[in-house]
């Protein structure tokens, strides 16, 4: 795998080379959204898992952040004013998983809604007798197909501490976005062909089964036990662990680590 040299970015099924118009548009966006040095330094100092990247990778991440900020629209909710450093904090963490894959996987949505703190959402479900049950769900983030990504600033800000227990709300929600880029939230992101898709499903299903048994048995794992809720949640929490707690994650789940390393074209535990 090539490390960090932007000129070695590979054209592939997920990252088609830009035509001349695309190239021109990209250059304009990069100029429009150039990130000032102090703001970039502040972001690196906030997030050790970003600062840990090599020089070339950090430059590529900064480039992707400019493009991301140009393409996405931030909205503050609950009285929150989204400042430049807040938007960049989101961009840097969101772009980390797609450092080598490009922003094409994030094309399906534009809006990012930021709340100051966690949000209580009213939910309802209907049982087999047609009776509707209502309940409250506390959310720190949410990603829905085609819709805006919702994040809480308190959790985005404190991501360095969250990394101690492999928690990262931005990477979690953007893992869902990647998963849904092929239309479905099922723990299977877009893959180049049917054979890779089948291999992925086989591997993630068996890892999920082992994980659910561990959670049932009360075994403490680096991966958030919330992942036992559903395969798509397992994928999202595994991606969090892969990027913010790669060393223990690789030790506990070497096969899953290898699968994600191959997909994301990154090897964060080696850094
Ligand atoms: Zn989730």
What is the pLDDT, as a whole number, of residue 145?
A: 87
- Distance separating alpha carbons of residues 133 and 24, to the nearest angstrom: 53
Report how far ligand 1's centroid is from the alpha carbon of 243 (Å).
16
Closest CA to 75 of 176, 149, 156: 149
Other C-beta atoms closer than 10 Å to the C-beta of 62 total: 20
Report how far ligand 1's centroid is from the alpha carbon of 2 (Å).
31
Instruction: Give the pLDDT band (50/70/90) at residue 13.
Output: low
- Cα angle, residue 201 at apex, residues 196 and 206 outer, rounded to 5°: 130
Q: How far is CA 226 from CA 24, 30, 47, 169, 178, in A?
A: 44, 38, 23, 13, 19
- Distance separating alpha carbons of residues 54 and 42, to the nearest angstrom: 17
HSE toward the beta carbon, residue 237, CA cutoff 13 A: 20
Reported pTM: 0.90
Report how far ligand 1's centroid is from the alpha carbon of 254 (Å).
22
pLDDT of 263 above 80: yes
- pLDDT, tens only, 137-183: 889 999 988 889 999 999 999 999 888 888 999 999 999 999 999 98
Report how far ligand 1's centroid is from the alpha carbon of 149 (Å).
11
111-115 and 73-76 as β-strands: parallel, antiparallel, unpaired?
A: parallel
Closest CA to 159 of 230, 253, 94: 94
Tokens found for residue 226:
């919330």
Report how far ligand 1's centroid is from the alpha carbon of 12 (Å).
28
Report how far ligand 1's centroid is from the alpha carbon of 129 (Å).
28
What is the pLDDT, as a whole number, of residue 101?
A: 94
Report how far ligand 1's centroid is from the alpha carbon of 232 (Å).
7
pLDDT of 63 above 70: yes
């Amino acid at each position: 795998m090539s490390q960090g040299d932007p000129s070695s970015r590979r054209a592939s099924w997920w990252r088609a080379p830009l035509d001349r118009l695309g190239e021109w548009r990209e250059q304009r966006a990069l100029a429009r959204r150039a990130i000032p040095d102090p703001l970039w330094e502040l972001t690196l100092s906030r997030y050790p898992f970003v600062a840990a990247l090599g020089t070339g990778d950090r430059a590529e991440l900064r480039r992707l952040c400019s493009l991301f900020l140009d393409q996405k629209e931030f909205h503050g909710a609950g009285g929150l004013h989204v400042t430049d450093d807040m938007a960049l904090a989101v961009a840097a963490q969101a772009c980390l998983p797609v450092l080598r894959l490009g922003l094409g996987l994030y094309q399906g949505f534009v809006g990012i809604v930021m709340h100051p703190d966690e949000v209580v959402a009213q939910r309802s479900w209907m049982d087999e007798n047609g009776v509707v049950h209502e309940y409250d769900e506390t959310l720190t983030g949410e990603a829905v197909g085609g819709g805006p990504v919702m994040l809480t600033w308190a959790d985005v800000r404190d991501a360095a501490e969250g990394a101690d227990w492999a928690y990262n709300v931005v990477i979690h929600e953007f893992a869902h976005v990647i998963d849904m880029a092929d239309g479905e939230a099922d723990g299977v992101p877009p893959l180049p062909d049917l054979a890779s898709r089948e291999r992925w499903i086989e591997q993630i299903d068996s890892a999920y089964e082992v994980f659910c048994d561990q959670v049932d048995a009360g075994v403490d794992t680096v991966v958030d036990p919330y992942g036992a809720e559903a395969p798509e949640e397992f994928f999202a929490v595994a991606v969090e662990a892969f990027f913010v707690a790669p060393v223990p994650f690789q030790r506990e789940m070497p096969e899953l680590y290898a699968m994600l390393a191959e997909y994301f074209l990154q090897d964060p535990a080696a850094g």
